[in-house]
Amino acid sequence: MEYRKYLKNPVLEDETDQMKGFPIPPIQKPYPEDARLIDLISHDSIKLDDISLMQAINNRESRRKYLEAELTIEELSFLLWATQGVKELARGGLVTKRTVPSGGAMHPYETYLVVNNIEGLAPGLYRYLAVEHKLLVLDTNKTGLSEKLVEVCHGQAFIGKASVVFIWTARPYRLEWRYGEDSLKDILMGVGHICQNLYLACEAISTGTCAIVAYKQDELDKFIGVDGENEITLYLAPVGKI
């Protein structure tokens, strides 16, 4: 089948933009200087349930039933750090070492959150700033975000019952700058690493998640305000207490 060619590493015949000396794209998408930011809790001070890695791996499963209970800001902070937390700035601050792998430490992803029931946070749309370990407030004025997201995801009602929904996008050029046409496999594998970390982290705080790729692409891009070309939604996962 024709699609199988995308499973193979291409033979790169052209120079990448890195080879041409073009400037490296920013680590994360810029935001306005006057944007409203919310501090998160450092992973060093977060207390977790007493669960072993063996238990977390063994218990890991897709969970679609959630309690009507809020997540604490501490728990959300942990899940964000576990999935995209920055451990170190490297190469003069041009790349990051994180809690998940990415080719060349480029990490071309952004994390958006549809918050429904998080302690101290107004329901709405947020973006995680991994370098600062803060939340960027995007929209807390619109109502019916959860219902709209369910519609975008082909009526999967359990999504609307989650305390928070993680939505991951890719900014492809962040990786293409270095690897050119060899970026596709890494982008898709990398977002899988992120979501698996979410699954395991959820087990450590008595929460559950379910990875979702069934959604209307153009509508999900529009829902979080990305253009679907320079930034593209890839994956989402609702999270709630179990």
**Each residue's pLDDT tens digit, 18-48:** 999 999 999 999 999 999 999 999 988 877 7
Q: How confident is the model at residue 3 (pLDDT cuts 50, 70, 90)?
A: confident
Q: Which amino acid is at 210?
A: C
- Tell me if 96 sits within 8 A of 131, measured CB to CB: yes
Q: How far apart are CA 204 and CA 6, in angstroms?
A: 35
> What is the second-level CATH architecture of the domain 35-241?
3-Layer(aba) Sandwich (3.40)
Q: How far apart are CA 69 and CA 59, in angstroms?
A: 21
